[in-house]
């Protein structure tokens, strides 16, 4: 069985629904304070990671392999609705099909950012953070932190000569080796 990135992200979001529907038991943490009964949710969304590449990538990332493969669920017939990055990301964030959220191309089309998994989690008290390429209309969002994210480190595409926004503070990156966007954002 094989786990696709989109399916992994969706599966990680399922406990929120279950916990909200059932309520939850109260527990105490090591300091004696009441522990937050809600599950932690971590989503790692990648693109351009085909099924054939996944085993070699996971071999080089033992922590991800331990957390997501050995302790997670794997499906061997899971498919995304669209092979394109922006429509797929918009679908995950909004929970809507491509024809409903309106992002059909990889041109950074803006969808309605006010109703996403981030805004819903934020509304029920989760602390949310995202890092990476948001793309979907980021250039048209004035403060560069899309709604619902308590912390955000985003950038517009480009490996060199780009801007990074960390909690709405802009940083300019040039052409030095230290400016390589993949290293900066991670």
Q: What digits encode the pLDDT tens for the residues 58-69?
A: 777 788 777 777
Strands (E), 80-161: 129-132, 151-155
Range of the domain at 43: 1-22+37-80
In a domain, 30, yes or no: no
% the chain with pLDDT above 70: 65
Structure-token pair, residue 26: 């109260």
Same-domain status, 10 and 62:
yes
Same-domain status, 144 and 101:
yes
Same-domain status, 76 and 142:
no
CA distance 15 to 39: 7
CA distance 5 to 45: 6
pLDDT at 97 over 80: yes
The neighbour count for residue 94, using CB atoms within 10 Å, is: 20
User: What does the pLDDT average to over 51-57?
Assistant: 63
Phi, psi of 3 (to 5 degrees): -105, 120
Same-domain status, 49 and 105:
no
Strand partners, 170: 165
pLDDT at 110 over 70: yes
- SS3 (DSSP) at 32: coil
Residue matched to tokens 């954002």:
185
Domain count, the chain: 2
In a domain, 47, yes or no: yes
Same-domain status, 105 and 13:
no
In a domain, 31, yes or no: no
- How far from chain centre, in Å, is Cα 55? 21
> Per the confidence metrics, is the pTM higher than 0.85?
no
């Amino acid at each position: 069985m094989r786990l696709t990135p989109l399916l992994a992200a969706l599966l990680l979001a399922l406990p929120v629904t279950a916990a909200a529907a059932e309520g939850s038991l109260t527990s105490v943490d090591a300091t004696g304070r009441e522990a937050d009964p809600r599950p932690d949710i971590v989503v790692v969304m990648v693109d351009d990671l085909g099924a054939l590449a996944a085993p070699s990538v996971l071999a080089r990332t033992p922590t991800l392999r331990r957390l997501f493969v050995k302790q997670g669920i794997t499906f061997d017939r899971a498919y995304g609705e669209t092979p394109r990055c922006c429509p797929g990301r918009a679908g995950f964030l909004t929970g809507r099909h491509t024809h409903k959220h309106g992002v059909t191309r990889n041109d950074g089309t803006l969808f309605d950012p006010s109703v996403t998994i981030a805004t819903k989690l934020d509304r029920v008290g989760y602390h949310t953070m995202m890092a990476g390429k948001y793309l979907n209309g980021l250039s048209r969002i004035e403060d560069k932190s899309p709604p619902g994210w308590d912390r955000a480190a985003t950038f517009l595409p480009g490996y060199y000569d780009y801007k990074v926004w960390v909690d709405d503070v802009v940083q300019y990156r040039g052409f030095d080796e230290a400016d390589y966007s993949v290293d900066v954002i991670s």
